Amino acid sequence: MEKTIRIKYHSNEIEKLEYIAGKSDWIDLRVAENVTLKKGDFKLISMGISLQVPEGYEMLLAPRSSTFKNFGLIQTNSLGVIDETYCGDNDIIRMPVYATRDTELHVNDRIAQFRIIEHQPHIIFDEVDSLGNADRGGFGSTGKN
C-alpha cells in the first residue's frame, strides 16, 4: 500500500529522496551541510528536510551500515523515532552523532536511512509464572560463526 508523505526541502543542494532500486526499502538521507568534526565531537547533523509522517505511523532513523566505516560516526541515540507530531516546517530531521575520529562530511554524503512503520498496537501484558516454552540458550546463544 502506498502512503503519501508531505516533505519540505531546506536546501536546493541535496538530492531528492528516492528508493535505491532493488537494494532496500529503507530510504537514504543526505547531509545538508558541510561538517568538520574532531574526535570526541557531538553534533546534530541536518538532513535538510522536514516531513509529515502519516497519522498512525512513525519514522525510524538509523545510520547506514557504512557510516561508521566511512566517517567514524556513531548515532548517539542508536535509533531515532520520529512520530507524526514532529511535522512543522522547522522540525528539521537531524542525526545526532559522536565522532570517534577526525572526519569531514560534505553536502549529499549519505549517512542515515529511514523507514516508515505503523505504530505498535496497544499491548496487554498477561503475567504468568511460566511461559511454558523450551529455553533457547540465552543472549548470544547462536554462536560466533
C-alpha cell recorded at residue 108? 549529499
Task: Clarify whether 83 is annotated catalytic.
Answer: yes
Beta bridge partners of 74: 98
SS3 of the chain: helix, strand, coil, percent, to 5: 5, 35, 60
* Catalytic residue, candidates 83, 109, 126, 129: 83
Is the separation of the CB atoms in 5 and 86 below 8 Å? no
Three-class secondary structure of residue 78 per DSSP: coil
Q: Which residues are annotated as catalytic? A: 83
